[in-house]
Structure 1
Amino acid sequence: MTRNSVSYSLFFTGTGSGGNLSVGSSAAVLEADDKPILLIDCGPGTLNAFAERYQGELPAAIFITHCHLDHIADLEILTVRARLRNLAPIPIFVPVGLIQLLHERLASYPGQMAEGDHDFWQSFQLRPVSDSFRSGDETFRIHPTRHHGPGSSFALQLPGRFFYTGDTRPVPELLHHVSIDSETIFHDCGTISNPSHTGLEDLEREYREDIRQRLVLYHYADATAAGQMRDAGYKVASPGERHII
């Protein structure tokens, strides 16, 4: 099977900024021919939304954009569910600079499960990532973005298919020079900017028109914010929505 014969899509289990249950925590699933092949982030509620979409399955592989709890908290639940099902370790692709922080936030508690003294990492196969990684039939690239401190958050790119920014301020140096014209750009955006996130007013100032036409916005506060961004002429992702890429 050639790459061009595969139908790819990105399904959003949640599209929110972590504060409103109605839009969930931002996370997405890359699908190949409707089958989930890579979960991007795993915040609160992600696993239940994933199970509802895929008939109780657990993720086959995971990529982590950054280590804020609204993007990783459900990994602790996942290690329990994987252990109870006696699953093989799940590959988890983590940018090298985030490994220590991920370990400190979720994996340093001793003896997480009484059954067999199972700990966090026994449920996962850690796959450190420098600038690219191979998963399934595809090679993905990662890029540092602008979120809090330097090197704290990373975008995920499947060249020619999609560019997923993760949490970020505008990154014209990436989208103008690294993103390929055929890629859908899934971009962090709220109605108001702050030092860690893109705001609606940033988009026109920072990006060319051809880039803005390829944007699909996510990581917003609530449905009202999503409506405001749509009124401004942008495509906006919704929880439970599938985007062909």
Structure 2
Amino acid sequence: MAWDLRLQGVGNASAVELGSAMATIERHGQPWLTIDCGGEGLTAFLDHYGRAPQALFITHTHLDHVAGFERLFVEAYFNPSLRGRIRLYVPAKLVPLLHQRVGDYPNPLAEGGANFWDAFQVIPVGESFWHQGVRLEVFPVRHHWPDTAFGLRLHGSLVWTGDTRPIPEMLARMADAGELIAHDCALHGNPSHSGIDDLEREYPQVLLERCLLYHYGSAQEGEALEARGYRIGRQGELVALKPTTAMQVDVA
């Protein structure tokens, strides 16, 4: 079974030319699970696939990762085949934050009669969840404030850190099966995000060799990271993943 990762965007909140950080896990060339819903990222998704995402995992609720939801609401609510069927896997501690950010607006339709979440199937998740018979794992990361940002693991294939500072103790447990590690990294770090010096200080070389860096600040920053010998993600890139070794059940 072929698994891939398509990058809708790789930039930080200011690098709109690189697209908001967002990606889609593909299975057999079809979108399977999308990570986050930024504004530029959703545009890239719609342009490439020609339809709305059917399932999303939300890492955190900063607007560069959830700003596409208002547009996705309109896309889903007025389409009978989509209304209430787009699955949103949301870490339970993020549910109230996501509602405050994108759902808690009086009368999402001017004519009334609609609730924002009518358009979606919201599924609060804990340390793991099942999607189409495949078990995925969820873990907290170090971004801005405790318990407000989470990463995702598809065992044996992919670890997506989301926005984070270095998390060596977490990756020792959550990236121990040879996964590709898509990691937040800019040329220079700050209290909410990793810089390359941070990763070099905190991670062994064998782990750095599995990292695909994204959420950098500009094309020039990406080139500088490459010049230091690291692999960077590029907007629109399709990255081959190893077949997952996650627990699976037949849901046919």
- The two structures have a TM-score, normalised by structure 1, of 0.95
Cα RMSD (Å): 1.1
Structure 2: which amino acid aligns with 1:80?
V
Between Structure 1 and Structure 2, how many residues are aligned?
239
* Partner Cα separation in structure 1 for residue 17 and residue 29 of structure 2: 25
Structure 1: which amino acid aligns with 2:197?
E
> What stretches of structure 2 of length at least 5 have no aligned partner?
242-252
Residue-by-residue CA offset, 1:68-116 (whole Å, 9 max, x unaligned): 0000010111001111222232110000111111111111111111356
* Partner Cα separation in structure 2 for residue 233 and residue 46 of structure 1: 27
User: Aligned-pair distance for 1:138?
Assistant: 1.2
* Partner Cα separation in structure 1 for residue 70 and residue 5 of structure 2: 24
Does 2:219 align with 1:200? no
Comparing 58-67 with 172-181, greater Cα deviation is found at: 172-181
Does 2:108 align with 1:112? yes
Q: What's 2:63 paired with?
A: 69
Contact 2:153 2:174 in 1 (8 A): no
Q: What's 1:140 paired with?
A: 136
Contact 1:94 1:127 in 2 (8 A): yes
Match of 1:48 among 40, 43, 50: 43
Q: What's 1:22 paired with?
A: 17
Contact 2:163 2:193 in 1 (8 A): yes
* Partner Cα separation in structure 2 for residue 225 and residue 96 of structure 1: 34
Contact 1:80 1:113 in 2 (8 A): no
Identity between Structure 1 and Structure 2 (%): 41
* Partner Cα separation in structure 2 for residue 220 and residue 20 of structure 1: 8
Contact 1:176 1:211 in 2 (8 A): no
Residue-by-residue CA offset, 1:95-149 (whole Å, 9 max, x unaligned): 0111111111111111111356222100111100111010113110000000011
- The two structures have a TM-score, normalised by structure 2, of 0.92
Q: Deviation above 6 Å: which 4+ runs of structure 1? A: none
Contact 2:83 2:118 in 1 (8 A): no
Matches within 5 A, 1:85-124: 85-86=79-80, 87-89=82-84, 90-114=86-110, 117-124=113-120
User: Aligned-pair distance for 1:22?
Assistant: 1.4
User: Aligned-pair distance for 1:46?
Assistant: 1.9
* Partner Cα separation in structure 2 for residue 111 and residue 228 of structure 1: 47
Does 2:238 align with 1:242? yes
Residue-by-residue CA offset, 1:167-200 (whole Å, 9 max, x unaligned): 0000000122331232000000001111100001
* Partner Cα separation in structure 1 for residue 126 and residue 111 of structure 2: 35
Does 2:228 align with 1:232? yes
SS state at 2:135 partner: strand
* Partner Cα separation in structure 2 for residue 180 and residue 68 of structure 1: 29
SS state at 1:25 partner: coil
User: Aligned-pair distance for 1:19?
Assistant: 0.9
Structure 2: which amino acid aligns with 1:165?
T
